[in-house]
Amino acid sequence: MYKIIDLDIKGDERGSLIALEDNSNIPFKIKRVYYIFDTKKGVKRGLHAHRRLKQFLICVSGSCKILLDNGYRQENIYLNTPTKGILLDSLIWREMYDFSRDCVLVVLANEYYDKDDYINDYQSFLKEIKTNE
Ligand code: TYD
């Protein structure tokens, strides 16, 4: 359903740096990057699945939680480090919540923004899972 990827830290006496590269530590060609920040208290984001899109999420500052659901089981993951990324395949329902005030969630994607790739209704998501089997 997802994979946690440890990112290699290029650290020296000045501090730390992490590089993200296509087809190296990011296992797809990156076409789009966006980031979610300044999220208001109590807000839930996501609440959708993607039909084809693959994504890689890194919480580069602060923390948040993400609920992942593949139609059969659910998992909650706490994202609180810039040194780990979560690789999400298509057809995973996701809900992000409990954002800290300083949370910056960076998302890399293998396709451009396409609103037709979204499944915004949970029951429709479950139906699409079944038809994809
Ligand atoms: P949305 O997909 O609702 O965010 P999330 O599901 O992660 O909470 O996106 C919020 C708004 O931003 C919506 O108007 C669509 C727009 N948007 C873009 O224009 N490009 C993008 O790459 C993304 C992810 C969103």
Q: Please spell the DSSP secondary structure of 82-118, one letter per residue.
A: TTEEEEE-SS-EEEEE---TT-EEEEEESS---GGGE
Find the 39 Cα to ligand 1 centroid distance in Å.
Answer: 13
Under 8 Å CB-to-CB from 22, ≥6 apart: which residues? 28, 29, 30
pLDDT at 23: 86
Q: pTM of the full predicted structure? A: 0.96
Q: Which of 44, 110, 113, 125 to mutate to test the pocket of ligand 1 (most atoms within 8 A of CB)?
A: 113
Find the 112 Cα to ligand 1 centroid distance in Å.
Answer: 11
Q: Which CATH topology does 2-9+19-131 take?
A: Jelly Rolls (2.60.120)
Residues of the chain with pLDDT under 50: none
Query: What does the CA dihedral 71, 37, 87, 13 come to, rounded to 10 degrees?
Result: -150
